[in-house]
Structure 1
């Protein structure tokens, strides 16, 4: 089957190692196999915050990260929400295909609401899964790389596609999830790795910034370093970060450190991360803002062409 892949990110800050091993590396592999759309989800920034922040700067930085890790704009269509009005117009018929109770039961929405900085839940937050359905279905996406926490969102998309086809005739494929095989990396403070929590190693961080972050990482007081995810999660997380960067098993690295303690573990992790990110940082510096603007303008043009066709199909199917 010839898949079309849809993936993307919210431009809320720099991408980090968790993004790289969780999704970016996989996107680079997939771009040589399937047509791919990469969404810069600028409208979704305001789902859980009152203001979009430095949105233009964040979009530029996001595209620089994409280019640095190896996404090729000749192979993938990189575009932004706000530049494709036809995509967003799909939300109207899609909202008619789901019930309020179905949206309120969505566990991912509940979690997003719990961590939102807003005092009240906005309508955009509540309908977030429907907006994602428009993101996926406007380009007839069939394969969506997601983490397990995003599966409920994708199930809403699958439901909308099936119900539209049953009610109006077949227009949309029913997309499939592509679960990442990489483990979920924790932040350096032991919590969820997040751009907003300051506990992540940004792909754009300098070597000195990376070393400072890892020095502050939480570990424990035991001198013997062992890989034990259940009983020593913070030590295990540093070992996993080093393991992914070096391409070696974490238990092997732990045995190599032995009784070197947390200091030796942090030195090894720092060297592993900086060595791994050095070529990515070098490629990032080879691109400029003017190039980013050109790439985004071309991607927006291609995405809008696709969205216009899909919206016309929807109007015809619905009898408008």
Structure 2
């Protein structure tokens, strides 16, 4: 759900860029978006879609990134307020997205794609060579050796 309106879906086409986290958002942007995410006036961290949809949304994001259950998150943050929870969530999201961002940066480097393609072509050529020789022999096409 949206970070600014828990009644709406999180979407990159949303008019407010603070309402969603993009996969390639820089860490500081992710942290800022999560820290400014809508919550409620109550500071109790508990899952309640009906009465606390914003906090429940953040708890789902936390659960998806950490693998922890909603119950575990509720217990772990029982004595904390939204500030610590959001700060920890921001770090968790940043760390979850880091491998994706690193891979995109790696593939965006000059020559990276070409290097992958050339390595693939060399591997394909090596794999095809025995079949090609067999085909040439069957047709009577022999390589001239010098």
Q: Same fold (TM over 0.5)?
A: yes
> Aligned ranges for residues 101-140 of structure 1 at < 5 Å?
none
Aligned to 1:195: 12
Aligned to 1:20: none
Which string of whole-angstrom CA distances, capped at 9 and with x for unpartnered residues, describes residues 157-207 of structure 1? xxxxxxxxxxxxxxxxxxxxxxxxxxxxx0101222111222111110111
The equivalent position to 2:101 in structure 1, one of 245, 258, 281, is 281
On the 8 A contact 1:243/1:249 being kept in 2, the answer is yes
For 1:237 and 1:249, how far apart are their aligned partners in 2? 13
For 1:259 and 1:189, how far apart are their aligned partners in 2? 25
For 1:278 and 1:236, how far apart are their aligned partners in 2? 24
For 1:280 and 1:265, how far apart are their aligned partners in 2? 24
Shift, 1:260, TM fit: 1.5
Larger Rg: 2
> Aligned ranges for residues 1-320 of structure 1 at < 5 Å?
186-190=1-5, 191-197=8-14, 198=17, 199-288=19-108, 291=113
Shift, 1:218, TM fit: 0.1
Structure with the larger strand share = 1
Shift, 1:217, TM fit: 0.3
Structure 1 stretches of 5 or more lacking a match?
1-185, 296-320
TM-score, L = length of structure 1:
0.32
Structure 2 stretches of 5 or more lacking a match?
118-146
Aligned to 2:125: none
What SS does the corresponding residue of 1:259 show, helix, strand or coil? coil
Aligned to 1:43: none
On the 8 A contact 1:238/1:265 being kept in 2, the answer is no
Which string of whole-angstrom CA distances, capped at 9 and with x for unpartnered residues, describes residues 40-78 of structure 1? xxxxxxxxxxxxxxxxxxxxxxxxxxxxxxxxxxxxxxx
Shift, 1:251, TM fit: 2.4
TM-score, L = length of structure 2:
0.68
For 2:47 and 2:63, how far apart are their aligned partners in 1? 11
What SS does the corresponding residue of 1:218 show, helix, strand or coil? coil
Higher relative CO (CA 8 A, sep ≥ 6), structure 1 or 2?
1
For 1:239 and 1:259, how far apart are their aligned partners in 2? 15
Shift, 1:259, TM fit: 3.4
For 1:195 and 1:227, how far apart are their aligned partners in 2? 25
